[in-house]
Amino acid sequence: MKAAVLREQQTPLEIEEVQISKPGPREVLVRPVAAGVCHSDLHFVTGDYPVLLPTILGHESAGIVEEVGADVTYVKKGDHVITCLSVFCGHCTNCLTGHMVLCDREGLNRDAEEQSRLFQHDRPIHQFLNLSSFAELMLIHEHALVKVREDMPLDRAALIGCATTTGVGAVFNTAGVKPGSTVAVVGCGGVGLAAINGAVIAGAGRIIAIDMVDSKLELAKTVGATDVINGGSVDVVKAVRELTQGGCDYSFEAIGLKQTAEQCFRMLAPGGTATVIGMIPVGTMVELHGPDFLQEKKIQGSNMGSNRFRIDMPRFIDFYLNGKLHLDEMISKHIKLSDVNAALDALKTGEDARHVIIFD
């Protein structure tokens, strides 16, 4: 099969022929139909986060089950599925207390003495985030996917595999946005737009979108932002505090920068909550003004929207098919696997929300 292989950080992916193993116990072979190119993939290309090499990137995908291994009862050949990097074991403390996204993931990968799921000329290729979706086939644990209704377009479904779940989930699950509240979202890429859309569904009274690209701010308005601020021309914190007459109830950082994380905390009203969704680079320290904690302001992280993806994702599909979740606007372009490096480069400029790979 063809796959986009990362052999060295800060270099382009290479389209190569790669071999894939047969499904073992509790494993599922999936033929991807669509895979989004996410900013998280770029973090591993640029070296912001470490990764075992060589690897096949990609983690936001939807497809059709091709084959199942022994002991798999959840899906069968022909089922439509969304994959999710939040693979869960189902029996650790975090899983049993409802925090599946924090699963310790023991026993979900093959043992060292077994054949690698992905390999080339008998040399293993590391699986990226339990998925590796920039490839014509995926071999994953059955707990890394959710079965979905077949009337859902799979290019839209792919976005639910990461961006939608991360953004909407942060609003619903991590922050618990209340109806009528004021919300600010810093960063209007795929995840930020999903957070804005999620805030609309949650019933937020005012939703302020913040970015430095006017076209993305216009897109934010189409998914529900009531106000927009171009952060390149004003003091973002001051602008939010003026719009809300003292600060917002909830803020969401959807870029992954020290400066914007600090801004999200500073723009809060007393008692407000800042949620960091973006992947702040390893080694970066976020600085906060200590006395602000006396106003009961809070800052927290969110991993993949604190999801319980087998519950959340089918609900998000219903939201889309009922016209509440705006996924059509999120797709900037359909591309081929061979165009993946151009899609990653586009993420650096911040002009586009999502390029989605469509497999033949």
Claim to verify: residue 87 and residue 183 sit in the same structural domain: no
The domain that holds 101 is classified in CATH as: 3.90.180.10
Per-residue pLDDT tens digits for 182-216? 999 999 999 999 999 999 999 999 999 999 999 99
Claim to verify: residue 183 and residue 49 sit in the same structural domain: no
How far is Cα 211 from Cα 201, in angstroms, rounded to an integer? 21
Is a pLDDT exceeding 80 seen at residue 353?
no
Claim to verify: residue 90 and residue 188 sit in the same structural domain: no
Claim to verify: residue 341 and residue 270 sit in the same structural domain: no
Q: Is the pTM of this model over 0.75?
A: yes
**Is residue 120 domain-resident?**
yes
pLDDT band at residue 360 using 50, 70 and 90 as cut-offs: confident
| E strands present in the chain | 2-6, 14-17, 19-20, 27-37, 55-56, 60-68, 80-83, 118-120, 123-124, 126-127, 138-141, 145-147, 182-186, 206-211, 227-230, 248-253, 268-276, 298-301, 331-335, 354-358
The domain that holds 185 is classified in CATH as: 3.40.50.720
Identify the domain containing residue 343 by its residue range: 2-147+327-358
Claim to verify: residue 207 and residue 343 sit in the same structural domain: no
Residue 116: per-residue pLDDT: 97
Mean pLDDT of the chain: 97
Cα–Cα distances in angstroms (integers) from residue 163 to residues 199, 304, 341, in the given order: 15, 8, 19
Per-residue pLDDT tens digits for 222-272? 999 999 999 998 999 999 999 999 999 999 999 999 999 999 999 999 999
The secondary structure of residue 303, as a DSSP letter, is S
Claim to verify: residue 58 and residue 132 sit in the same structural domain: yes
Report how many domains make up the chain: 2
